Amino acid sequence: MTAHPVTLIRGDGIGPELAAVTRDVLEATGVSFAWDVVDAGENQMKTAGTPLPESVLASLRRNKVGIKAPITTPVGSGFRSVNVALRKELDLYACVRPCKTYAGVPVPHTHKAIDLVIVRENTEDLYVGIEFERDREDTARLLETIREFRPGAVFGRSCGISIKPISVERSRRIVQYAFDYAKRNGRKRVTAVHKANIMKFTDGLFLEVARQVAAENPGIDFNDRIVDNMAMQLVQSPHDYDVIVLPNLYGDILSDLCASLVGGLGVAPGANVGTNGALFEAVHGSAPKYAGQNKVNPTAMILSGVLMLRHLGEAEAAERLEKAVGRVLKEGRNVTYDLRPGKSTTGAVGTREMGQAIIAALHT
């Protein structure tokens, strides 16, 4: 059996313990892996001077497939997101986040089972980080240029500026990916999300391209929704939606909303896919206050491993593992505290113990 070369990024905070459990569970499927274990995140600042050492990028470029534990992103200051940097450096342009109801997971509604997929553009929009800090000379010059070309523009003199690029090429690429995903996975409809009624030259462009791509892909239904209306629709009737394709910022926000509908970020897997590689990751953060406590829910990272198995062509192993996870969740005995009624610690197990329960379910 040929081993699949896979980069395993251990992350920081709760990342290393989630990475260890996920590795054990994936190996228990019987699939053979050639792991290249690397580190990224805050713990690398002291030793490497950067949260994203070049060795991590080199490993991913070499192996073409990776799975990543959570990595801290400082808020308001410090280094920019390692997650965003990885997507940019490797051109992982499609962020895929399935949102699926699993029996036994506490949910905040009484909807019938939800099974939808967010496809988020990863490389454009406000997340490219083209920002101008307030009260700087270059920002003042940019403000004057804006006033010159848009005399009616009204804003304060002391303000920061972010630039939002949306291109034809990358809009086309992500929308086509959404249609291809729908075809491969037996999905029936693609919904494009935008704010084209206000941002006519950016979101308007995204919507225009989405409609063009839809016309080129008969057999899959297409519609579109304004982003604020989409948020309401997802809360009221999420089962009306199937594959949802969005620009970067909206995709980030609405994927968390969808995760909440199926039980939260603890059960939300993710994939970042490009032409030359793929990186799989739990959607949630690094929760440093819980680091080393053997307390956190490993489901999201393990389900990200399910997505990775499918990407590697190991469909049978992926199906067995997803069923094993589903069985443990439904039984509700060997699960972490957040999956217990009322998030009670009574009867809850730890991260490692839940992983072992999933391994046991694989073998029964």
Catalytic hit among 100, 195, 203, 295: 195
Q: Nearest-CA neighbor of 15 among 358, 364, 287?
A: 287
CB proximity list for 36: less than 8 A, separation 6 or greater: 5, 6, 7, 8, 59, 62, 63
Q: Is 91 a catalytic residue?
A: no
Distances in whole angstroms, Cα of residue 144 to Cα of each of 109, 136, 269:
50, 13, 44
- Residue 127 catalytic? yes
Active site residue 228: yes
346: which DSSP letter?
T
Helix (H, G, I), strand (E, B) or coil at 140: helix
Paired residues of 243 in beta bridges:
117, 190
Q: Do 192 and 241 touch, CB atoms closer than 8 A?
A: no
Catalytic residue among 36, 203, 252, 338: 252
Helix (H, G, I), strand (E, B) or coil at 39: coil
Bridge partners for 278 per DSSP: 65, 273
Residue bearing tokens 């029996």: 103
Helix, strand, coil percent values for the chain (each to nearest 5): 45, 15, 35
List, in order, residues 6 or more apart from 330 with CB less than 8 Å away.
102, 103, 104
User: Catalytic one among 102, 127, 241, 250?
Assistant: 127
Beta bridge partners of 186: none
- Catalytic annotation on 39? no
Q: Which of 135, 138, 221, 228 is catalytic?
A: 228
Report helix, strand or coil for 34.
Answer: strand
Neighbours of 72 (CB within 10 A): 21
Active site residues: 127, 195, 228, 252
